[in-house]
A and B are shown apart, each in its own frame.
Chain A
Amino acid sequence: MDIQAVFIDIIKENEGLILKVVKVYANTKADEQDLYQEIIYQLWKSFPSFRAEAKISTWMYRIALNTSTGYLHKEKRKGSYLPIDGLLINSTLANDNIREEQVAILYGHIRQLNAAEKGIILLYLDDRPYEEIAAITGFTVTNIGTRLGRIKQKIKDQIKK
């Protein structure tokens, strides 16, 4: 199997991971599509340097988070994405209004955090062990614990408001 076919299989298997990162970092539907494609492009560019000893999800999260952070800092590039309407629209199935509302609140809380905190909370919510969060982010395991404590407090404060 050639490298492109292997890469495509990996992306197909892990598209949910990319979608989760995009949902946290992009604010509009257009940004979601643009960021989604930028992440896939960066993953492809970095794929030859991927070492098989690392977990694929660790590597993907690292590239996806690095790309998203850069995306936040760059000037907007409206209209540069491929027209793939409908790809990233739904984060819930069916027409469940209560769920939609809950999901909106969830993203609302996360989007008020800074770029570093968004990355950490995303990995925490995704049930990644502290060791993996540390490997992806470059913070120490202890530091992750401290930061999560601060994030929890921030979210509690947001809820109280």
Chain B
Amino acid sequence: MELEEMKRLWGEMAIEMEKQKKLTSSLITKMITQDYHNKINRLLLPETIGSLGCLGSALFILFNFQQLNTWYLSGCGIASAIILFALPILSISAILTMRSVNIAGNTFKQSLLQYSKCKRQFVFKQKASFYLGAILLVVLLPVMSKLIFEKDIFITQRLWLSYAITFTFFYGFARWVFKSYNKKIAAAEGMLKELEG
């Protein structure tokens, strides 16, 4: 199909689209009322619940910190609390970054540039969250075991063996996840290069 043929077909299609007017006043009114956007905001609920869960767990560790009575449990406790505070900040800032684009004031080129930069930042933040989540898995288990069941699983269980086995699976999974992240970053950078070039 040549470009001129595409243009002719597009023109014919446009005429047919014009004939199919389907929007009614009430439908448009529904679309522009808060109802629709409330639905979108409701989709942020998992992030909000997750963030509250993280903050709750961090506070639980801090309030019971004196029970972590060995150097390694204290170390795990501090690391867990820091990560639990950092994860919600990363998650929410990643979403806000994507929402910061000025749709009304930007030209198409400015939006494309901004979205590509945001996308790159967003994927970096996702990557950081992934690393932190993996570390959290390792450090949180002995802390919660001590605080909830009063057991030091470094002594009572073969924890190191479990870590070694888990790491093997995690490594494979991480490689797969990062391949997808890197693809997204490359696409965003490709677009930036093209627009700035």
Contact = CB atoms under 8 A, between A and B. Distances in A.
Interface stretch (B16-24, B81-89, B147-155): B16-24
B107 A62 contact: yes
Contacts of B112: 69, 115-116
A156 to B, nearest CB: 8
B191 A66 contact: no
A70 B103 contact: yes
A4 B104 contact: no
Nearest to B105: A49
B191 A116 contact: yes
Contact of A15 (B10, B22, B25, B115): B22
A65 to B, nearest CB: 5
B165 interface: no
Counting contact residues on chain A (CB < 8 A from B), the size range is 35 or more
Interface string A12-24: 1001100110000
A93 B112 CA distance: 34
B45 interface: no
B177 interface: no
Interface in A87-114: 87, 90-93, 99, 102-103, 105-106, 109, 114
Nearest to B37: A41
Interface stretch (B27-35, B62-70, B137-145, B168-176): B27-35
Given A67-B103, A102-B1, A93 B109 contact: no
A106 B6 CA distance: 6
Contacts of B104: 42, 45-46, 49, 63
Interface string B1-13: 1110011011111
Contact of A127 (B7, B28, B36): B7
B78 interface: no
A65 B16 CA distance: 22
Chain A: interface secondary structure?
Answer: helix
A129 to B, nearest CB: 14
B164 interface: no
Contact of B31 (A12, A37, A136): A37
Interface string B124-166: 0000000000000000000000000000000000000000000
Contact of A77 (B13, B31, B43): B43
Given A67-B103, A126-B10, A93 B115 contact: no
Contacts of B1: 102, 105-106, 109, 155, 159
Given A16-B17, A82-B30, A106-B9, A87 B22 contact: yes
B55 interface: no
21 contacts: A4-B29, A7-B32, A8-B28, A12-B23, A41-B36, A46-B104, A63-B103, A66-B111, A69-B111, A69-B112, A70-B101, A73-B122, A84-B27, A87-B27, A106-B10, A109-B1, A125-B6, A137-B109, A138-B106, A152-B3, A159-B1
Given A11-B28, A137-B107, 20 more contacts: A7-B28, A8-B25, A8-B28, A12-B21, A12-B28, A16-B14, A16-B18, A62-B108, A66-B103, A72-B115, A84-B27, A106-B13, A109-B1, A115-B191, A124-B7, A125-B6, A138-B109, A139-B109, A155-B6, A159-B2
Give 10 closest A-B pairs by Cβ, nearest first.
Answer: A138-B107, A46-B104, A138-B109, A125-B10, A44-B32, A137-B108, A66-B111, A16-B17, A66-B103, A40-B31
